[in-house]
Amino acid sequence: MSADSQLTRVQCSDLRTIAAMIVPTSDEYKVPGADDPAIQADILATLGRDTKLVAAALDHLARLAGQPLAELDAARRDAVAQQFRATGGAAAATLVRVVLQCYYRDDRVLRSLGLELRAPFPKGYVLPDGDWSLLDPVKARSGTLRRAP
């Protein structure tokens, strides 16, 4: 089940708003904010085991705000965010982690950081498909049997 179906419409809206506060759009570096639709879709698709903590964080945020976060003026929203950071505990930390995790794996963000859009191994060498010669030293070892506990 996707996190999108486990979060309410208001929670999804608050998630988008708090994500924009965590990482705003930057015209200078030509990167989207964490409220970008593609990044939000990634967050909702990959929440998995963090869904309950993120929902708890969003509920706590809603209690502090007293209304949807997007409806607050900027000064009140900042005050609520400061209070949330001070009182949110592990749930708030989880919310921030999942937002940053999805943000920093977005291709546009990686490009802006000067990173290539591929795994760093094998350091520029392309391996032909089906070439398993790297495993030859492992295959040459004798098997190790150990008693299971």
On whether residue 135 sits in a domain, the answer given is no
Rounded to 10°, the helix 74-87/51-65 angle is 130
pLDDT tens track for 88-131: 999 999 999 999 999 999 999 999 998 878 766 666 666 677 78
On whether residue 109 sits in a domain, the answer given is yes
| Number of Cβ within a 10 Å radius of residue 56 | 17
Contacts of 6 (CB under 8 A, 6+ apart): 47, 51, 55
d(CA 85, CA 90): 10
On whether residue 113 sits in a domain, the answer given is yes
On whether residue 122 sits in a domain, the answer given is no
On whether residue 83 sits in a domain, the answer given is yes
Domain of residue 75 covers 9-117
Collapsing DSSP to helix, strand or coil, 31 comes out as strand
Q: How many domains does the chain have?
A: 1
On whether residue 76 sits in a domain, the answer given is yes
The structure's pTM equals 0.75
On whether residue 47 sits in a domain, the answer given is yes
pLDDT tens track for 35-56: 999 999 999 999 999 999 999 9
